[in-house]
Amino acid sequence: MKKKLIAIGCIAVFIALSPSCKKDFLEQSDPNAISIDANFKSPNDVLLAVNGIYQSLRSGNNIGETSGLWTDERSDDTGTNDNQSNAGEPFQFNNFSILPSNTYLKSHWVSLYGTITRANVVLSNIDKVTFPDANLKLQYSAEAKFLRALTYFHLVRLWGDVPLVTRQLSSTEVAANTFREKQETVYGQIVADLKDVVNNNPLPNLQTGAGIGRVSKAAANALLGQVYLTMAANLDQANRAANLGNAKTYLMNAYNMRTFGALSEIPYTDVFDVNKKSTCPELIFQIVNIQGDVNYSSVIAANNQAKGETINSQKQTSGAGGNVTHDLINEYETNDPRMAYSVKFANDPIVKDWFITKFRDNSDKATKLGYGGNDWNLIRFADVILMLAEVNMYLGDNTTAIQFLDQVRARAGVPTYAVAMTDPAYSGKFPTLKLAILHERRVELAFEHHRWFDLTRFFTTPELVTYFKGKTQADFGAAQLSNFSTKDRYYPIPFDENKLDPVKMYQNPGY
């Protein structure tokens, strides 16, 4: 019997999507209806293939709105806290007891490499097509490279060394390309792809109208800045200064593309308002959903709602909703309005706990089935601003760092950093500027799938262990903090992938 080959070579897909309207942009046709080569005949064929890359992001196994298992539930913000969940594979993630055989983990790996395969198919075939408009070809290539870079960025932060493939593979080439590449090389490819995108003139600074949900120059600069910031934290420290300098450059590029003045001009609630998702100037890159559509609606509002509550959705639920750790609840400052908007305590006897309310659509259009219209926001300006605070702090410019930090705090309506530091409750919890910035990211970006990546960027592995061990078990739910160790910095390589070649697909330490 033939061995199963790594997912990067097993997925030969071409998803046909029509660009005529937002719904068509999301819809897919039969991927097995026609061969890949036969599909690349016209610029429209390339567009359909690029749309297929975007479509793959929507899955909960990928980076869509329901993908919190891989990030938020791995962190100290959320988790599964009921008896049924505690007995199953999902609980392994926030209990820090994950096994290489975990089927959810394997599904995440396969889905991410599926996205990369789709991008590689486009980039390997685009030169076969004649484009009357050369800029259109540059645009499609830039979109594919951005999405490939974004996906590899997720992979390298979650697993460390990972297989790196940048072209369409035939079935006979898969085995030779099934090996883990060093992080530095993977990051090098991510940077190369994103530099091609930021230097790509046809892309608009920001997408509007029918273009919302597609890549822009602001998105590419923001992501490249974040990549350099992460490299400064996690790679060879000999290059730290250069990486920080590059991070500042690209983050400032993104920041200077905004169409507003101060962040305080945009109410925090507008960022998540279903009726303003196409007009809110804070949003940079998002996955588009269609309100009321059975196939392409958002489920996050209904899924997060706890029994007996109606704030998120008209859909009735019998569960606990999106669980929130008491550790996060305790971190909110007194009278921070972001807490009142983001979480609520459910009094139903079977819940009696906090649940997520940040994503809401209880409109009639969403129906009682919970077909919400929330877009999933992947990049927004508050994130960019807080990364600018972080990079300036690392560069030794605390004055500028605090100015960026205070932009976010001013919008939230909480005291400036200088005033907050005179409050013993605040300065006791966040005695350094670094911890204050990490705190601000936590409460500003809660449940947006940033927290785990923030923790692994702000702390070295030993520091991360100390951080988790310093938490109170009672505030962390059923998950056992005592399980956290140095092995939990990365996920294990899925069992099936490691088994293919234990030498070239070596397992991460501790598993």
Predicted confidence (pLDDT) per residue in 331-381, tens digit: 999 999 999 999 999 999 999 999 999 999 999 999 999 999 999 999 999
pLDDT of residue 495: 97
Please give the backbone phi and psi of residue 283, each rounded to the nearest 5 degrees, phi first: -80, 130
Angstrom distance (rounded) from CA 158 to CA 108: 11
For 1-201+480-511, CATH gives 1.25.40.890
pLDDT of residue 8: 43
Angstrom distance (rounded) from CA 138 to CA 237: 35
Predicted confidence (pLDDT) per residue in 369-420, tens digit: 999 999 999 999 999 999 999 999 999 999 999 999 999 999 999 999 999 9
2 vs 101, which has greater pLDDT? 101
Angstrom distance (rounded) from CA 153 to CA 342: 27
The arithmetic mean of pLDDT across residues 116-145, rounded, is 97
Angstrom distance (rounded) from CA 211 to CA 350: 44
pLDDT of residue 172: 87
Please give the backbone phi and psi of residue 285, each rounded to the nearest 5 degrees, phi first: -150, 130
pLDDT of residue 33: 47
Structure tokens at 279: 């007009």
Contacts of 139 (CB under 8 A, 6+ apart): 200, 202, 203
The arithmetic mean of pLDDT across residues 229-248, rounded, is 96
Whether 506 has a pLDDT exceeding 80, the answer reads yes
pLDDT of residue 30: 55
CATH topology for 204-286+377-458 is: 1.25.40
Predicted confidence (pLDDT) per residue in 475-503, tens digit: 988 889 999 999 999 999 999 999 999 99
Q: Domain residue spans in the chain?
A: 1-201+480-511, 204-286+377-458, 289-374
Angstrom distance (rounded) from CA 160 to CA 150: 15
pLDDT of residue 478: 87
The arithmetic mean of pLDDT across residues 85-90, rounded, is 70
pLDDT of residue 174: 86
pLDDT of residue 101: 97
Predicted confidence (pLDDT) per residue in 223-232, tens digit: 999 999 999 9
Contacts of 172 (CB under 8 A, 6+ apart): none
Whether 123 has a pLDDT exceeding 50, the answer reads yes
Say which residue the tokens 């007891």 belong to.
97
Angstrom distance (rounded) from CA 122 to CA 131: 14
Angle at 244 between CA 241 and CA 246, to 5 degrees: 110
Predicted confidence (pLDDT) per residue in 2-61, tens digit: 444 444 444 434 333 334 344 555 555 555 445 676 789 999 999 999 999 999 999 999
The arithmetic mean of pLDDT across residues 413-439, rounded, is 98
pLDDT of residue 200: 82
pLDDT of residue 122: 97
The arithmetic mean of pLDDT across residues 107-123, rounded, is 97
pLDDT of residue 80: 79
- Looking at 395-450, list the stretches that DSSP marks H as alpha helix, in order from N- to C-terminal side: 398-412, 417-420, 424-429, 433-444
Structure tokens at 398: 């605390």
The upper half-sphere exposure of residue 412, i.e. CA atoms within 13 Å in the direction of its Cβ, equals 26
Structure tokens at 152: 């590899």
Q: Are 26 and 58 in contact (CB under 8 A)?
A: yes
Q: What is the dihedral of CA 231, 232, 238, 244, to 10 degrees?
A: 120
The arithmetic mean of pLDDT across residues 112-139, rounded, is 97
Angstrom distance (rounded) from CA 291 to CA 341: 21
Angstrom distance (rounded) from CA 458 to CA 438: 8
Contacts of 407 (CB under 8 A, 6+ apart): 262, 263, 264, 385
DSSP letter at 201?
T
Burial 291-316 (b: 16+ CB within 10 A, else e): bbbeebbbbbbbbbbbbebeebbbbe
Angstrom distance (rounded) from CA 383 to CA 316: 33
Angstrom distance (rounded) from CA 63 to CA 418: 37
Angstrom distance (rounded) from CA 78 to CA 94: 8
Burial grade of 213 (CB within 10 A; 0-12, 13-18, 19 or more): buried
Structure tokens at 137: 């070809």
Angstrom distance (rounded) from CA 311 to CA 191: 42
The arithmetic mean of pLDDT across residues 75-96, rounded, is 80
Structure tokens at 78: 């959320």
Structure tokens at 187: 């990051």
Angstrom distance (rounded) from CA 214 to CA 260: 21
Angstrom distance (rounded) from CA 92 to CA 49: 36
pLDDT of residue 355: 97
Q: Do 1-201+480-511 and 204-286+377-458 agree at the fold level?
A: yes
- Average per-residue pLDDT for the chain: 92
Angstrom distance (rounded) from CA 15 to CA 33: 10
pLDDT of residue 32: 47
245 vs 175, which has greater pLDDT? 245
Whether 445 has a pLDDT exceeding 90, the answer reads yes
pTM: 0.93
Angle at 204 between CA 284 and CA 292, to 5 degrees: 50
